[in-house]
Structure 1
Amino acid sequence: MIALLRAAVPLFLAMVTGMFGSLVVTSVLGRYDTVALAAFAVMSAVLTPASATVQGALRGLGPFVAQHKDSPATAVPIVRDARWLAMAAGTVGALAVTCVPLLAHATGVPGEVVRELGALPYLVAVYLLVFASTGGASTILVALGHHRSVLWPTLTFGLLLSVLTVALVPPLGLTGVGIAWVVGGVAAAVVASLLLRRALGGPIGQARPRIGEIVKLARVSVPLAGTVLIKFGVLGVVTLAAGGTGARDTAAHAVLTMLTAFMMMASLAIGQVSVPEIARAADPAAARRANRSAALLALAATLAGAGLLLAFGSPLVTLFSDDPAVRERVLALLPLMTLAAVADAAQAVQGTGLTALKRSGASLGYFAIGYGLLVLAAVPVARTWGITGLWMAMAVANVLLVGLQGTGFHRHSAKVAG
């Protein structure tokens, strides 16, 4: 368990660094112009699920590469196949973000906000293609045991995004944010490629696509991307449902969602570093032991974060809102949010365990059940019980997923044979 924790720390720091860059962008735009900030929020509504879906697809490569940890050079053909799959996922994501102005106009976003977008959707599309060109380098590095290496590309991106945003937004507005995103993405891609080349012991090169092998990767990666898309899509519906409960409750929901994202980082990092251990397990007992260690560690980390929130919630919430009514609602709902986050952490680890077993399709089915029920309940629950009911519904959905994902992992791990 100690080894798992040590491996997860660099990945956790990488996630924090990535979120810090986004917070800097939001802060700078908020001080620059309200319309620009609104336009960025519209852009983020599509960019967040698009980039998360691309990242989800790339994480499906882990169990295939993990088998080659002791002889990294033999993983090169898989890395080449991964590049083809990554570029396909990146192209889909890039097309989605270029459609933001059309989607914004169709959904009634004010014209001045749509016009403010300018070149940002196209610059962000370039960033997604650059990110995809690395072929899931971070996932591959984790699978090969180079956990510390994953920090450097994200640190490079986060620092450049922050510095360039501060420098370019005053003269260029949202176009400056787009340029910062592209420059940071290119620099991070170069760092990731160099680290990957060193981990593999030589150049990767390129070859004609092996369709059959790419299909094998896609059978794990595409359902994983679908799972991420379902989650973000349903949470978007939940946010819209919260929007009908009043401005202060909506603001409180936004703060609670952000706090949940921070709490989930540790469990996501632990789940990802457990994938190679489960993928290389010689028998069902070893796979379940690795999964159990990851689950216990993720729960401990999440509960530690929850304890800090409950103990120091008041000063922390002040950082996000100066409205006493909003702070009061957030503090009142912290215990319920903690329950939902702890259950989410537990189900996330079970889901990554299924990915390690190359059974992400089963996880997709479980998400369709759990979050399908949540999306059906969101609007009527919000109308009847407000955001208190919404967070209770999310907690119930996550607890249901813990049962479904855990049972699924136990069943599929029985088929492990070294």
Structure 2
Amino acid sequence: MPFRPLLSSAVPLFLSMITSMVGGVVFTIALGHHATESLAAFALSMAVLGPATAAVAGSLRGMVPFIAPHRADPAAALPILRDARWLTLTVGTVGAALVACVPLIARVSGTPAEVVEAMGALPWLLALYVLVFASSGGANSVLVALGRSRQVLWSSLTGTVVDIVLTFALVPVMGPSGAGLAMVVSALASTQVSVFCLRRVPGLGRFSQWPGRPRVTEIVRLARVGLPLAGTILIKFGVLAVVTYAAARTGLIGAAAHAVLNSAIGLLFLAALAVAQASVPEVARATTTAEVRRVNRAALILGLSGAGLGGSVLLLFGEWIFRLFTPDAAVQALALSLVPLLVVSTLADAAQAVMGFGLAGLKRSSWSLASFAVAYGLLAVAAHPVAATWGLTGLWVALIGNNVTLVVLQGSGFLRHSARLGDLAPAIPAPPARERAGS
């Protein structure tokens, strides 16, 4: 089984995710010490920024299965990169417009005036952040697709270092606006490092990477893979927000315990997510059904092993770990009692992620979108009645059921489409060399 290529790609991706999380923790700490209004303003803005950047990230991931087959001839991937820039800039512009409307959304939703005032220039800076993120055109995704995941770590480390330095320098003086400025500068620095690493790939440095005349047909083909991926993330964001509100209805202790468990599951899920992302180019480069399924089995073993290892640590040391999140003994006790359910949910989530990214590698992400619509739709309908009847325990059982449903739906889709590998659309053909060099 192809464990080595998966691990060589997944480990740098995992480390880059960890470093990005560190930056988020630093923002929370700095704003929490600045003022309660500042922390609330930042949290409300991030609630809109998260889906906006997720949509851009999904559209970026959609290019990976188209670029991966050109690993031996990176220059042939340039037209695809240019097409992807058109797509991501379009999605990013829409996302930036939504983020800029955060103060209006906050006022309409009844947010206290002092919190809205505390936002300052933050929404505009976060809108600029989305545009910078989109303008990268998926440089990191291209590096992953071309088998150069280690270089992704450098851009992540650069961004995190800039985040930390500027956060502590600007937030005490500027509050949330300082955090927004730090994010914009960090994104610029990270993007420059990614583009620099991409230019060092043999065959890419001498050609322009910026979009020229849009190739509408090819952009639409990318969108058919990327936009459903973005849609799955948006559905998950939205329904998990519904689950969080349902958890809040169980009481203060239940809401706090759910928040602690969500933080823990985010950490446990990272390893599986990294492996799932690393599997996409390997699936896309496979030429037979047997080879595709061999990659998927290896990714499942690695993803479940990573999630299981993290779950074992939580089962053994959860009492000490949860003390880091909250000093409240009642919250700790409730969270600790639900750890077995959390571990099962994480394992199922890891398996469905591997299957979902396998479908993306086969350019069939629309199946994942339909699966998410069904599973998370049922969860959204059931969340509040389940919480009212069975409390937080019932909610986590429902989350397990949701993830198991996704494993079945996405697994069946993967088996179906991998069996028809010969019928899949070929990668976007490379143009003549003279077109590659054009802008």
TM-score tier (shorter)? over 0.9
For 2:261 and 2:416, how far apart are their aligned partners in 1?
34
SS where residue 319 of structure 1 aligns? helix
Q: Is the contact made by 1:50 and 1:93 (CA closer than 8 Å) also made in structure 2?
A: yes
Shift of 1:172: 0.6
Shift of 1:205: 4.1
Q: 1:161 matched to which residue of 2?
A: 163
Amino acid at match of 1:324: A
SS where residue 309 of structure 2 aligns? helix
* 1:40 is aligned to 2:45: no
For 1:38 and 1:183, how far apart are their aligned partners in 2?
22
Which one of 5, 15, 18 corresponds to residue 16 of structure 1? Answer: 18
After superposition, the C-alpha distances for 1:97-137 in whole angstroms (9 at most, x for unaligned) are: 11111111111111111111111011011011001101111
Shift of 1:196: 1.3
Q: 1:145 matched to which residue of 2?
A: 147
Q: 1:410 matched to which residue of 2?
A: 415
Q: 2:204 matched to which residue of 1?
A: 201
Q: 1:226 matched to which residue of 2?
A: 231
Q: 1:81 matched to which residue of 2?
A: 83
Q: 1:346 matched to which residue of 2?
A: 351
Shift of 1:57: 1.5
Shift of 1:325: 0.7
SS where residue 206 of structure 1 aligns? coil
For 2:289 and 2:390, how far apart are their aligned partners in 1?
44
Q: 1:244 matched to which residue of 2?
A: 249
Amino acid at match of 1:98: A
For 1:206 and 1:214, how far apart are their aligned partners in 2?
11
Give 4+ residue runs of structure 1 displaced > 6 Å after superposition: none
For 2:52 and 2:265, how far apart are their aligned partners in 1?
20
Amino acid at match of 1:399: V
Amino acid at match of 1:218: A
Provide TM-score, normalisation by structure 2: 0.94
For 2:33 and 2:278, how far apart are their aligned partners in 1?
38
Q: 2:362 matched to which residue of 1?
A: 357
Q: 2:267 matched to which residue of 1?
A: 262
* 1:72 is aligned to 2:74: yes
Shift of 1:385: 1.2
For 2:55 and 2:134, how far apart are their aligned partners in 1?
11
For 1:180 and 1:126, how far apart are their aligned partners in 2?
12
Q: Is the contact made by 1:281 and 1:416 (CA closer than 8 Å) also made in structure 2?
A: no
Which one of 98, 102, 105 corresponds to residue 103 of structure 1? Answer: 105
Q: Is the contact made by 2:387 and 2:395 (CA closer than 8 Å) also made in structure 1?
A: yes
Amino acid at match of 1:55: A
Query: Once structures 1 and 2 are overlaid, which stretch shifts more, 205-214 or 144-153?
Result: 205-214
Percent identity, please.
54
For 1:3 and 1:72, how far apart are their aligned partners in 2?
18
SS where residue 145 of structure 1 aligns? coil
Shift of 1:2: 2.8
For 1:37 and 1:324, how far apart are their aligned partners in 2?
25
Q: 2:115 matched to which residue of 1?
A: 113
SS where residue 279 of structure 2 aligns? helix
Q: 1:192 matched to which residue of 2?
A: 194
Which one of 195, 216, 220 corresponds to residue 215 of structure 1? Answer: 220
Amino acid at match of 1:117: M
Q: Is the contact made by 1:272 and 1:352 (CA closer than 8 Å) also made in structure 2?
A: yes
For 1:327 and 1:45, how far apart are their aligned partners in 2?
26
Q: Is the contact made by 2:304 and 2:351 (CA closer than 8 Å) also made in structure 1?
A: yes
Residue-pair matches, total? 418
